[in-house]
Structure 1
Amino acid sequence: MPRSAPNILVCGTPGTGKTTLCQQVAEATGLKHINIGDLVKAQSLHSGWDDEFECLVIDEDKVCDALEDMMGEGGCIVDYHGCDFFPERWFDLVVVLQTDNSVLWERLEKRAYSQKKIQENVQCEIMHVIVEEATDSYREEIVHVLQSTTPEDMERNVEQLAAWCRTWRPSS
């Protein structure tokens, strides 16, 4: 049965504005915002802590199992830095946010990330790791890369995604 509302995945390097964008788009459209990091913590969908990367090690199978019914219903905007483990059938649009490296560095410093973690994330951004992951994992026509450096970028991205939701029609 086709979904009555779209599902959107918003991904990108930490600090690119995924959560803020998703919250604002959800508010503007009525989509349900699902922050995967929060879901993993709330439902213990992980296999412990990774000291080297200073983060929880998510159990991708458990995450997908927890999301299956919600994604089938539609109307979700999912927020996570990675994307390659989510089934392609879930998403009507995949958005990759990118941020200028100097701005990204400052944002991650404000989060009190270690220098190593900042360097790794900025390197990911420089190398377009998430863009490549998205284009390798999803149909080219549903992947869109959006700049997310300034407040004006954020405003434009919210407007663009809200407009896309208003015109979305289920595929047959």
Structure 2
Amino acid sequence: MEIENNRQKPNILITGTPGVGKSTLGKLLSEHVEGLQYVDVGLLINQRKLYKEWNQEFNVPEFDQDMVCDELENAMQTGGMIIDFHTSSFFPERWFDLVVLLRTNNTVLYDRLKARGYEDKKITENIECEILDVSKDEVESSYKQNIIMELNNEEVGQLEQNILQIIEYLKQWKQAQLQKQQQQQQIQ
């Protein structure tokens, strides 16, 4: 595990197609790991009006990437952030110590999106994105392979296992960070 920053707390990106369980995982992770703050970027965009146009067809804001990054920059430098968003390539790579790509089979995804009240067109588009690996391709082309963790998230047991796996990664990250600091102190 390569550490490229001096943050005391890691930053985590949780991404994937809408409905895969990003928000649930992010919130639970912030409850299980002291010092991590959860941010739902979709809510942040709406609350802070980080958009310039509204997509009438899908009834969503077309967020402004620069506005979102500017809003998050200071917190990301400090560390300890869990960022939840369905798209990821516009975030600076240097921000993240772990990128979690959540996946879900299409039947579960359909049921979750239907329960949210999504219209059929929006459900179809999201399922097609999952089938075509849109989020996976985006993550793999934007971040180093050694910080990407792809996890299935279809049932409660998997959710619990995912949290444990991320916590284990964070322990390794912290240990690597401590070793890096010790090496720097020896050099000085």
- Show the counterpart of 2:186: none
TM-score, normalisation: structure 2:
0.88
Instruction: Return the alpha-carbon distance in structure 1 between the equivalents of residues 58 and 16 of structure 2.
Output: 17
State which of 127, 142, 147 in structure 2 corresponds to 1:122: 127
1:84-103 superposed matches below 5 A: 84-103=89-108
State which of 44, 53, 64 in structure 2 corresponds to 1:48: 53
- Show the counterpart of 2:11: 7
TM-score, normalisation: structure 1:
0.96
String of CA shifts for 1:62-110, please: whole Å, max 9, x gaps.
0000100000000011000000000000000101100010010000000
Unaligned segments of structure 1, at least 5 residues: none
Q: Which amino acid aligns with 2:9?
A: A
Larger radius of gyration: 2
Percent same amino acid among aligned pairs? Answer: 42
1:29 touches 1:165 (CA, 8 Å); kept in 2?
A: no
- Show the counterpart of 2:115: 110
Q: Which amino acid aligns with 2:132?
A: M
Instruction: Return the alpha-carbon distance in structure 1 between the equivalents of residues 22 and 128 of structure 2.
Output: 18
- Show the counterpart of 2:184: none
- Show the counterpart of 1:160: 165
Secondary structure of residue in 1 paired with 2:13: strand
Secondary structure of residue in 2 paired with 1:120: helix
1:22 aligns with 2:26: yes
Q: What is the CA-CA distance between 1:161 and the residue it aligns to?
A: 1.1
Instruction: Return the alpha-carbon distance in structure 2 between the equivalents of residues 145 and 41 of structure 1.
Output: 28
Structure 1: 4+ residue segments shifted above 2 A = 169-172
1:82 aligns with 2:87: yes
Q: What CA RMSD, in Å, does the superposition of the two structures yield over aligned residues?
A: 1.2
Secondary structure of residue in 2 paired with 1:27: helix
Q: Which amino acid aligns with 1:20?
A: T
Number of paired residues? 172
- Show the counterpart of 1:137: 142
String of CA shifts for 1:131-155, please: whole Å, max 9, x gaps.
0000000111111110011111111
Unaligned segments of structure 2, at least 5 residues: 182-188
